[in-house]
Amino acid sequence: MTTSSPNIVLIMADQLAPQFTSTYGHPVVKTPNLDALAQRGFRFDNAYCNSPLCAPSRFSFMSGQLVTRIAAYDNAAEFPASIPTFAHYLRMMGYRTCLSGKMHFVGPDQLHGFEERVTTDIYPSDYAWTPDWELSDERIDKWYHNMDSVREAGVAATTFQIDYDEETAFFAKRKIFDYARERSGPFCMVASFIHPHDPYVARRDWWDLYDHDKIDMPANVLGHNEQDPFSRRLMDGIEASAMDISEDQIRNARHAYYANTSYFDSKVGELVATIEEAGMLDNTIIMVTADHGDMLGERGLWYKMNFFEHSSRVPLVMAGPGITHGTAPNACSLVDILPTMMDIAATGGRAKPELGQPIDGRSLLPLASGNTDKADEAIGEYCAEMTTHPVFMIRRGPHKYIHCDPDPAMLFDLSKDPDETVNLAADPAYADVVQAFAAEVKDRWDSGKIREDVIRTQKQRRAVHAAMEAGLLTPWDYNPPRDASQEYVRNHMDWTVAAAKTRFPPLENN
């Protein structure tokens, strides 16, 4: 099957740090399917999320806009239906669009431009997870991370996350075959999985891929008193400062995370194999990325919610027609996916529609096509739990600058210090660099105004949520439409016609 514009299949992991893949050089973790895509495609070595938390990162990724522009502050921030996404733009360019799996949409719009959504989501779509910056020291125990995921890491036959990812893969593969059978033009499929997100529990077959004694331990562990102020708040928020975690528990958690990374990688392989079986591999661009990373014990921190490398960097690999084989050191981020997708769709001569809103990203297709690109920048914003003020990150060239109003600034030279062990913000040799970044932060963001808006929206959402919990509940959670009377073979159908219609490849005389 061929079309004038390539199909796009984007496969997304949840909480996958590129450092914990063989594709990006980890000596223990096994990701052969991602390796294979990188070996025939293009690997971005400094790709970042724009907010190191699930929902804000995904809203930014879909809209091509930074989170403060669209008030995508936290995991209970509403994603307004009026914000255009890459799914909207691709539909205007003649693409079929489908989502299978997680996107953590919050609000009554659970499609955001996708024509079809073939699964429900794994997380709630209401305002229940709203933080409170006016009571920032109080934990919301029902949903805040804590260290139980580390203490309880291990093996199980199944979990709700395994159930979900099996469903996500099944429906994504079936839809790809539907597109092949229908021959209806180019499509964009997003298959979004929950693994290797905690809890760190893996099936035995994936656990047994690894020798437990060879699981590497965190390289740079800081105690509570050695941490910067923001990291101390994170440790307190996830209860890492109050719980004693043994080396065995840390090794178990990392073992399970590695196992679940290989499990996610197997789903990448399944989808690539399906695309090939459907006869569309030569006309499909495949992208693999994640919404954010996982500290996994590095620096004494776990999960995400910070701008250190293991939390804020994401894998980004592209392969397919027109994509060269290579790597790029340029800093980039998930807001760049929207313009990249539009450029891919335009390669077949399709006109790009006018943007409904300004976007913050740039197209990565020139780099992935083998051309040079001087752009080397990623911008990050964090406005969720375990802080009282917005946190900003600028990654440009070798430098990463992190600012939060009540905290000392942080500057790292990643070319000399990739593990971020030395904060250079007070180093006289970097005074000019620090001054320039500080001035840029002041010019780019009004931190006080953003803080006021975050608190205002938190109050609004808590009031609405309290009302929605009183009386009759009308949930926003997505319920995929399904009509069993039209599936498989029914009495109003000719079964021979149904058999021929669903068979792929079709018989030659059909």
Q: Which is catalytic among the residues 54, 188, 332, 383?
A: 54
Q: What is the DSSP letter of 468?
A: H
- β-strand pairing of 399-404 with 410-413: antiparallel
In the numeric block, the tokens 């105690």 are attached to 223
At residue 290's C-alpha, the angle toward residues 285 and 292, to 5°, is 155
| Cα-to-chain-centroid distance, residue 505 | 34
Q: Within a 10 A sphere around the Cβ of 200, how many other Cβ atoms?
A: 25
Q: Please, what sign has the CA dihedral across residues 245, 247, 253, 257? A: positive
**Coil, strand or helix: which one is 318?**
strand
Q: How many residues does the chain have?
A: 510
**Coil, strand or helix: which one is 367?**
helix
Task: Give the C-alpha separation, 89 to 357, whole Å.
Answer: 11
Q: What is the DSSP letter of 249?
A: H
Q: For 413-462, give the DSSP string.
A: ETTT-TT-----TT-GGGHHHHHHHHHHHHHH--HHHHHHHHHHHHHHHH
Exposed/middle/buried for residue 173 (C-beta within 10 Å: 0-12, 13-18, 19+): buried
- C-alpha radius of gyration, the chain, whole number: 23
Task: Give the C-alpha separation, 318 to 264, whole Å.
Answer: 17
Structure token digits, residue 10: 């984007």
Q: Within a 10 A sphere around the Cβ of 445, how many other Cβ atoms?
A: 17
Residue 188 among the catalytic residues: no
Task: Give the C-alpha separation, 266 to 268, whole Å.
Answer: 5
Q: Which is catalytic among the residues 49, 88, 98, 104?
A: 104
Task: Strands of 163-224 (E only): list them.
Answer: 187-196, 201-202
Distances in Å between the Cα of 202 and the Cα atoms of 28, 153, 272 are 17, 8, 23
Distances in Å between the Cα of 500 and the Cα atoms of 211, 412, 510 are 48, 61, 7
Task: Name residue 306's amino acid.
Answer: N
Q: Within a 10 A sphere around the Cβ of 348, how many other Cβ atoms?
A: 14
**Coil, strand or helix: which one is 45?**
strand
Residue 104 among the catalytic residues: yes
Task: Give the C-alpha separation, 103 to 100, whole Å.
Answer: 9
In the numeric block, the tokens 């313009």 are attached to 339
Indicate the angle between helix axes 54-63 and 337-346, nearest 10 degrees.
30
**Coil, strand or helix: which one is 266?**
helix
Q: Which residues pair with 316 in a beta bridge?
A: 289
Catalytic residues, by residue number, are: 54, 104
